[in-house]
Amino acid sequence: MHMRNMVIALVVSTVVVGGALFLIFGGKGEDSVVVPPEPASVPGVAKPATPPGVRRVETVPATPRDLVRIEVAVVNDRSEPVANARVRIDSEEALKSGRRGLAPAAEFLTNTSGLGAPKDKLLVGTYVVWAEASGYARARKLVTLAKGEEPVKVSIVLSSGVAISGRVFAKDRTPIRGARVTAFKDLGRRDGTDFDWLMDLLEPKRLEKPLSMAETDADGVYQLANLERGVECVVRAAADGYAPGTQNFVAAGTPNVDFYLEAGARLMGEVVASNGTPIGGAVIEAYQRTGATSDIRVAVGNAMRGAVDTVNAGGDGRFEFSALGQGAFTLVASAPAHQEAMQDIELKLGADATVSITLEDGLLLAGTVVGPSGSAVANAKVSVRPQASVSGGNNAINREVDKETATDGGGRFAFDSLSGGQYTVTVSHDQLAAAQLRDVEVPQDDIEIALGEGASIEGIVTDAEGAPLAGVRVSVTDVGNVPKEAVTGDDGRYILGPLSVKPISKKQVTADKEDWAKPEPKTVTLAEGTVAELDFVLQRTSRIAGTVRDTAGKPIEGVKVLVEKMITKENPVHRFLDFAYTKDDGAFNLPKIVPSADVRLVAEHRYYIRWLSEPFSIDAGEDFVDTEIVMEVGSKISGEVVNEAGQRLEGAQVKAVKAGDPDTHDFLGGGSAKTDAQGRFQIQGLGSGSYEVVAQLNGYLDGRSEPLDMAEGASRSGVKVKLAAARSVSGTVTDAQRRPIAGARVTAIDTSAGTRKESNVSDENGQFTVGNLGGDPVELLAEAEGYGKQTLHDVATGKSGVEIQLMALGGVKGIVVDGDGKPVKAFSARAEPIDIDAGYETPRTSFKTFSGAEGGFEIPNLPPGSYTINVQSPGYRGAQAENIRVAAADVADVGVLRLQAGGMLNGRVIDAYGTPVPDATVTVIGGASRLPGARGGASATTATTDADGRFAFEGLKGGATKFRVSKPGYLSTDSDSIDPNTLASELVLRLGAGGTIAGVVINGRREPLGSVKVYLKGEPKSAQTETDGRGRFVFDELPEGVYTVRTFTFAKPGEERRPEPVIEDVEVSPGGSVEVELVKE
């Protein structure tokens, strides 16, 4: 993952589900842990029956690798062919991977008829087709290639392009010749909100790829041509010997965009190996560190566009940057067979600087990939990712760097430029299930990764009438975020696989086709060596179009019009089915709306009051094309932001929030601005109500105005918000011998105004400064790798010279063998604290996975004290080493731990009458880590009963374990906690009988009504469903109780809501069935 991906992950996690868009603030999730292959079947024990809809196969089928010919026609907006247009075709999967420098799937020029085609056929799948030509704005189209009629014909329309033009000067107004000027798509819009730039994050490739580039002539003149009208750009100008210049939110078509460049800073340096030998050809990238004063949009935008400059070292290892400006930079140097290194540097205008970067020898990670039979697998894709961020010092960028290679003919792979630490290794192959191995220590040169046969999914995709749909993308994300995709053929059928079944046997599958509503993802449970059936039914998308005007009838440009799912208990987050901006004539078009029964239209513009429609429903293929929206001008607040001395402050973020509201986040906008050079601000588009103006600026504490009562269209000026300067705490982090500790994270917990946390990292001298603090004393928490945490209470802000002393930690190591004394190659170990020395916190420990041919393990970062070391592995009973003493800065050796073969648990599932229940699912819900293998089950913690209701789990380790048994039509039951190794007889689990309420929804003419929502409400259980094409519905697995059944339908715009049928006091008994009839007028 490149640095830009990590920044985005920290800002916003974006999920597209069921054709809808969710925006959820948060961090990035962890990768799943791989579980070693399931032990071989026990002789004489039959495999349980497979679940319904799943069949066992001799060979798991793989997704077909069919080839399709594609032909591209490029025309202009007058339908005239465009000759010599450059066409590039990229795999969408490759674009989503985020890897740079990937070769296109195809590239060619159109002929005089505007036609062109790749030399070779392309694999079925999804591609992005780009087209560009002189005088036109670049365009692209998403295309899904399916097996069928060939060639697949794609038409791309190029609109006439517009230009951004201007001149580049030195500060003395001397024209600069040969300056490099580049336009990128800017992040968001000048008058936009958080929503706008978060939307841009959905298409990062549009932001990182230059839209246009030019060089200045002798008069300093440049022209960035072929830009799309209406696009807002960030324009960069760079020239040797000068600091680069940047202008944001420059609209395409803008003339006279001039730059005045200051004298730059020259940075010279060398890259050498650890023995001092120069490293020729090393790549050095310069990343700008935005610092604490930058807007988050600037930080994200810079991160997505990557390095501001890149150079290569010469044969003598020397390099030079001649077009960097003043500021803080992080240099990243890399070379084959060497570890990547980072170094921070501060540059000043007009000054030269020198730097020397040392690259340590790369550590080796090598091994072999084998298949189910143990034979080598060639052409498997192998990627490694560090499990901890690689940092280049205080305030440096953070990177999680993916490295990727492919196995050779003997299944071998190697990475020779890794740094120390633990890595996650992911392996994938078209014909085998993917696998992932975590906690892999380097260096290693003999790891073996086995790819299993896995399982596949197949099915058919149809429309609502049952007709097969071709060209539907059916996709799933496998272990290690490996994407797998299949495309339906003319018969609507697909095969998706092979897919891994461990560690997660449940897969979420999606289906997608242009102009068709994306259905909700479906979940399927897979078992090794099986094929699961999964069908999809797609509906046509719907469309809403219309015009937005003000109260005088004038069209409004730039209004954001959204189709919003109503916020309910089931849908508690903002969810948007489609959105668009109005053009200069006020027109908008929303062509990709998922049919829904509970939506509304939303129109937003920062100068107008937010407009909301009444809730309505929209059916598949339904169009509302004459929608009229009238918006009223909102009220306005203006004023200034000053410091305690009354000096005006530039660049403060100012927001209008509801009076008394502690949440200052402006997610959808409509109430925020930035102060100008005179500290002034103006907020428009507010509705009536009571507001407070909140101002925020780095280096200052947040400030608030008095409450302001605003009426519609009112104007309030002269509002002043005063900001108090923030304070800081500084000092040094040392060890017990008072030696400085670099890289320690120091966090200040500030309660001056609520509770806030501010943190920083100590430099190479152990020194730290934590800023943005209020006037009250703070609590300081310091932590560093290899040391225990330390907390200081009631530290006065503004204080310097604070010393935080950290105590060194210890560790344990050992070797794990089986009953025959052979090393166990995959196992988990945990150090459980017994008694911890005074001055240290008792740690929360968990099992950690280890692998390697020698069976060795080491657990670091343990506070001094005594521990019990627990070791476990699939197919073995656990082993312990008790009362192991750990000393500070020392690693205790526990010696050899021996694992004995594990046992087996047998059980039976019966119903309330004692009759065996086949095809029931038995799942471990407590103590799952004690069950490494479940014979015949879908995962390590799941088993399925056979025809006699029997099930079995293998490789038990003992200890408290709980089970849950479930089956459609029955009530799930949980067992008490038991110890499987002390169970005298088989485990008997009993399923309770569930009741059923079934019925039909009809109209007054007794005709069945399909797609009607039916709601069930009762004390034991509530649920909802939808009628099928015959008007039928079923609620099953109901506990005994009394229920109410009713329907509900949202009215369309302009319609009155009609009475809904309700049936109350429906009694359900165990195993009983009740039939009801609902008549809708």
Looking at residue 1, its pLDDT comes to 37
* Amino acid at residue number 564: E
Looking at residue 56, its pLDDT comes to 75
User: pLDDT, tens digit, for every residue of 689-735?
Assistant: 888 999 988 888 888 899 999 887 788 999 999 999 989 999 999 99
pLDDT-based confidence at residue 966 (cuts at 50, 70, 90): confident
Task: Report the alpha-carbon distance of residue 816 to residue 137 in Å, rounded.
Answer: 64
H/E run at residue 691:
strand 689-696
User: pLDDT, tens digit, for every residue of 766-805?
Assistant: 999 998 898 899 999 999 988 988 899 999 999 999 999 9
User: pLDDT, tens digit, for every residue of 939-958?
Assistant: 457 888 988 899 887 666 66
CATH class of 903-993: mainly beta
Averaged pLDDT for residues 999-1021: 88
Looking at residue 191, its pLDDT comes to 63
List the chain domain ranges: 67-158, 162-261, 265-359, 363-450, 455-539, 541-631, 635-717, 727-805, 810-899, 903-993, 995-1080
Considering only residues 406 and 306, tell me which one the structure prediction assigns the higher pLDDT.
406
> For residue 61, is pLDDT > 90?
no
Looking at residue 178, its pLDDT comes to 93
Averaged pLDDT for residues 999-1006: 90
pLDDT-based confidence at residue 927 (cuts at 50, 70, 90): low
810-899 belongs to CATH 3.40.50.2300: no
User: pLDDT, tens digit, for every residue of 724-762?
Assistant: 998 999 999 999 899 999 989 999 999 887 788 888 989
> For residue 117, is pLDDT > 50?
yes
User: pLDDT, tens digit, for every residue of 68-111?
Assistant: 999 999 999 888 999 999 999 988 877 666 565 678 899 999 99
Task: Report the alpha-carbon distance of residue 608 to residue 687 in Å, rounded.
Answer: 8
**Residue carrying structure tokens 């509970």:** 598
Averaged pLDDT for residues 492-520: 88
Looking at residue 379, its pLDDT comes to 92
Range with the lowest mean pLDDT among 450-454, 857-861, 955-959? 955-959
First to last CA, the chain: 57
Phi first, then psi: give them for residue 198, nearest 5 degrees: -70, -35
Task: Report the alpha-carbon distance of residue 358 to residue 275 in Å, rounded.
Answer: 9
Looking at residue 194, its pLDDT comes to 58
The CATH number that domain 541-631 falls under is 2.60.40.10
Looking at residue 1056, its pLDDT comes to 66
Task: Report the alpha-carbon distance of residue 655 to residue 691 in Å, rounded.
Answer: 10
The domains spanning 903-993 and 995-1080 adopt the same CATH topology: yes
- Which of 483, 456, 505, 411 minimizes the C-alpha distance to 96? 483
Averaged pLDDT for residues 23-52: 39
Range with the lowest mean pLDDT among 226-235, 354-363, 663-672, 914-923? 663-672
Alpha carbon of residue 1017 to chain centroid: 36
The CATH architecture of the domain made up of 162-261 is Sandwich (2.60)
| Choices 3.90.1170.50, 3.40.50.1360, 2.60.40.10, 3.40.50.2300: CATH for 363-450 | 2.60.40.10
pLDDT-based confidence at residue 502 (cuts at 50, 70, 90): confident
- Which of 794, 691, 796, 804 minimizes the C-alpha distance to 744? 804
Looking at residue 389, its pLDDT comes to 45
The CATH number that domain 455-539 falls under is 2.60.40.1120
Looking at residue 985, its pLDDT comes to 65
CATH class of 265-359: mainly beta
Q: What is the mean pLDDT of the chain?
A: 82
* Amino acid at residue number 707: P
> For residue 895, is pLDDT > 90?
yes
Q: Are 993 and 1037 in contact (CB under 8 A)?
A: no
The dihedral over CA atoms of 681, 687, 689, 691, expressed in degrees to the nearest 10, equals -20
User: pLDDT, tens digit, for every residue of 220-240?
Assistant: 999 998 888 778 888 999 898
Report the half-sphere exposure of 428 (CA within 13 A, side-chain side).
Answer: 17
User: Over the range 77-114, which residues count as b (16 or more CB within 10 Å of their CB) and which as e?
Assistant: eeeeebeebbbbbbbbeebebbeeeeebbbebebeeeb
| Choices 2.60.40.10, 3.30.70.890, 3.40.718.10, 2.40.50.100: CATH for 995-1080 | 2.60.40.10
> For residue 902, is pLDDT > 90?
no
The dihedral over CA atoms of 482, 487, 492, 494, expressed in degrees to the nearest 10, equals -40
What does the block give as tokens for 1012?
A: 């009607």
What does the block give as tokens for 681?
A: 């601000």
> For residue 393, is pLDDT > 70?
no
Looking at residue 96, its pLDDT comes to 65
Q: Are 992 and 912 in contact (CB under 8 A)?
A: yes
Looking at residue 571, its pLDDT comes to 61
Averaged pLDDT for residues 143-151: 84
pLDDT-based confidence at residue 671 (cuts at 50, 70, 90): low
Q: Rounded to two decimals, what is the model's pTM?
A: 0.57
Looking at the domain 67-158, which fold is it? Immunoglobulin-like (2.60.40)
> For residue 327, is pLDDT > 90?
no
Looking at residue 19, its pLDDT comes to 41
635-717 belongs to CATH 1.10.10.10: no
Averaged pLDDT for residues 979-999: 79
* Amino acid at residue number 931: L
Averaged pLDDT for residues 198-207: 63
Task: Report the alpha-carbon distance of residue 524 to residue 538 in Å, rounded.
Answer: 18
Q: Which residues contact 793 (CB under 8 A, 6 or more apart)?
A: 779
Query: Alpha-carbon torsion 973, 975, 980, 983, what sign?
Result: negative
Averaged pLDDT for residues 1045-1058: 70
User: pLDDT, tens digit, for every residue of 268-318?
Assistant: 999 999 899 999 999 999 887 765 444 556 666 666 667 788 899 999 999
Looking at residue 326, its pLDDT comes to 77
> For residue 1051, is pLDDT > 80?
no
Looking at residue 69, its pLDDT comes to 92
The CATH architecture of the domain made up of 727-805 is Sandwich (2.60)
Looking at residue 701, its pLDDT comes to 87
Looking at residue 577, its pLDDT comes to 82
